[in-house]
Structure 1
Amino acid sequence: MDAKPTPATGEAAPLNSLAVINPDYRIGTNDLLEFDVFGVPDMRRSVRVNATGSVSLPLIGSVPLAGLTAQQAEALLAKKYGENYLQNPQVSLFIREFTTQRITIEGAVAKPGIYPVTGQLTLLRALALAGGGAQYAELNEIMLFRNTRGQPSEPKVFDLDKIRSGEVPDPIIQSDDVIVVKRNAKRTALRDSLFRDILDTINPFK
C-alpha cells in the first residue's frame, strides 16, 4: 500500500470544498468536478459526471457520485483510496460547473410549472422564477416536498415573511424538489360567494 506523503510542518492544508460551496448541493450528471488528494499532485484532475452519475478516477476506476453532497463524495472517495492505495488520504472535491436541473412550482403562484435550474437556488429565488405569489397565496405556509432515496418525504413548511426578515434561513432547493404554495381557502370562498351575489344582482332571472 502506498503511503501518503506527510506534509511539512507549517504547510497549509488545502481548502475543503465546503468552504466555497453550499453543503446542501447534490452532485448531478454533467457536473464538472475538480478532484485532488492533498500531498499527491499527480492525482489532481478535472472530471465530469457521466450520464450514469459516475466519474472515473485513477486507481479506483468508476465511482457513482450523483445524488451526494460534496462532503459525502469526499468521504466516499477517501474511504475507497484508503482501503487499498493511500494512507489517511485527504480528498478535496470542488464542483466547478453545475448541471442544469429541474424543480416544480405549483399552487398559488403567478406562473406555475417546471423550471430548469442551474447552480444553487434558494426558496425565495425559486418563487421569484414563478413570478411570486398569486392572489390569496398563503405565503406563511409554503410546502417543500423532497424525494429521499427515491421516496417522497413529509413536506417541510416555510413562512416566507420569516425568511425575508432573517428569522429563519432561506432553504436551498435541490433538483426534483416540488414547491407548493397554498391558496387561502376562506378568502377564495368569500371571493367566489361575493362574485355569485354580484351575478345574481345583475341577472335576477337566472
Structure 2
Amino acid sequence: MTEPVPFRFSALAPLVCLALSAGCQSSVAPVLPTGTAAYDAIALAPTTEAGVHVIAIGDRIDVRVFREEDLGASSLLVDGAGNVALPMLGEMRAAGLTQRALGERIAQMLRESLLRDPRVTVSLAEAAMQTITVEGEVAAPGVFQIQPGHTLLSALALAKSPQNTALLDEIMIFRSIDGRRAGARFDVAQIRAGRAPDPLVQGGDVVVVGFSQLRRGYQDVLRMSPLLNVFTVF
C-alpha cells in the first residue's frame, strides 16, 4: 500500500509567494515629507499654543476698536474665501489667523490710514462647525466633528483606530493652506511611543491611513491554511 505523501508548508510556497508578492511594492506615498519636514509641510505651528483658536471659514467674529465704535463690527462672517468686510477698511483676509494676529493686522491698517495708536480687540462670536475626514484602513471611516486641540491620534480614535492591515508609518494628513494643497506622512507607532509629536488636526483636513498589502497577504495565507491543512504532517 502506498504511503500518503506528507503535506508540508513548502507545497504551498507558490501560493504564499503570490499572496505576498504585492508586499514588495513601493509605498503609495513616497513623495510626501516625513519626520520634521512633515510638521513643517502642513504648517501646524499656529495651532500648537494651548487655547488658541485659528479663525476659519464660517466663523463669526467681533471687532472692537477702543474709543472708535464706528470702526468696529459685531458678528462678522468669515466668508467662503476666508475674508471679512470691515467698516472703512473693506475686505481683508481672516481665515488662518489667530484672533490676536488679525487684531494686529487691523491695527496696522488703521495706523497707516486713520488713527495714530489704535487698540483693536478681535473675539470669537461663534465658531463654525469643524469637521475632518478619515479614510483608508480604519474600522469606521467617515466625516467627524472636531474641537480645537484634536490631534492625529484622537482623529484615528474617532474612526475606531487603524485596522490590522494598516501601515502605521504611512498615515497621511492633507490640508489646504492659502489655497494650495499640502500633505505630509506620519508614523503613528513613533507617536504612540512618545518618540514623535502628535500633530494637531484642523477643520477640513483629510486623514488617510495606508494599506499594507503584505499584511493582507499573510492574512489571506492564514485564512487558507485550515482548508489546505498547511503545517499538518501525517
TM over 0.5: yes
Task: Summarize deviations over 1:120-170 as a string: whole Å, max 9, x none.
Answer: 4221221121111222323343211122333322x3222334434544332
Distance 1:58 1:185, change over 3 A: same
The equivalent of 1:22 in structure 2 is 52
Deviation at 1:102, TM superposition (A): 2.6
The structure that is helix-richer by fraction is: 2
> 1:72: how far off?
4.3
1:99-118 matched pairs, under 5 angstroms: 99-118=128-147
Distance across 1 between alignment mates of 2:101 and 2:112? 17
Unpaired runs of 5+ residues, structure 1, are 1-17
Tell me the residue number matched to 2:67: 40
Change (3 A) 1:194 1:66: same
Cα 1:19–1:143 shift into 2, 3 Å = closer
Cα distance in 1 for residues equivalent to 2:137 and 2:150: 20
The runs of 5 or more residues in structure 2 that have no matched partner are 1-47
Aligned to 2:213: 185
Q: Distance in 1 between matches of 2:156 and 2:49?
A: 27
- Across the aligned residues of Structure 1 and Structure 2, the Cα RMSD in angstroms comes to 3.1
Aligned residues: 181
User: Secondary structure at the residue paired with 1:172?
Assistant: coil
SS in 1 for 2:84: strand
2:83 is the counterpart of 1:83 = no
CA distance in 2, matches of 1:84, 1:114: 44
- Residue 168 of structure 1 is matched in structure 2 by 196
* Kept after mapping to 2: 8 A contact 1:27/1:69: no
Taking the aligned partners of 1:91 and 1:81, their CA distance within structure 2 comes to 9
Q: Which has the higher contact order (CA 8 A, sep 6+)?
A: 2
Structure 2 length as normaliser, TM-score? 0.62
Shift of 1:108: 1.3
Among all aligned residue pairs of Structure 1 and Structure 2, give the percentage whose two residues are the same amino acid.
Answer: 33
Q: Secondary structure at the match of 1:92?
A: strand
Mean Cα deviation higher: 123-132 or 90-99: 90-99
Q: Displacement, 1:175?
A: 2.2
Matched, 1:121 2:150: yes
2:173 aligned partner: 144
Structure 1 residues 44 and 199: alpha-carbon distance in aligned structure 2, compared to 1, 3 A threshold = same
Scaled by the length of structure 1, the TM-score of the pair is 0.69
| Separation in 2, partners of 1:114, 1:181 | 14
TM alignment of 1:91-102, pairs within 5 A: 91-102=120-131
- Classify 1:20/1:144 alpha carbon distance in 2 versus 1 (closer, same or farther; 3 Å): closer
How far apart are the structure 1 equivalents of 2:68 and 2:50? 21
The CA deviation at 1:22 is: 2.6
**In structure 1, what is the equivalent of residue 32 of structure 2?**
none
**Cα distance, 1:50 vs. partner?**
4.7
Question: Which of these two proteins has the greater Rg computed from alpha carbons?
Answer: 2
| Cα distance in 2 between the residues matched to 1:189 and 1:183 | 11
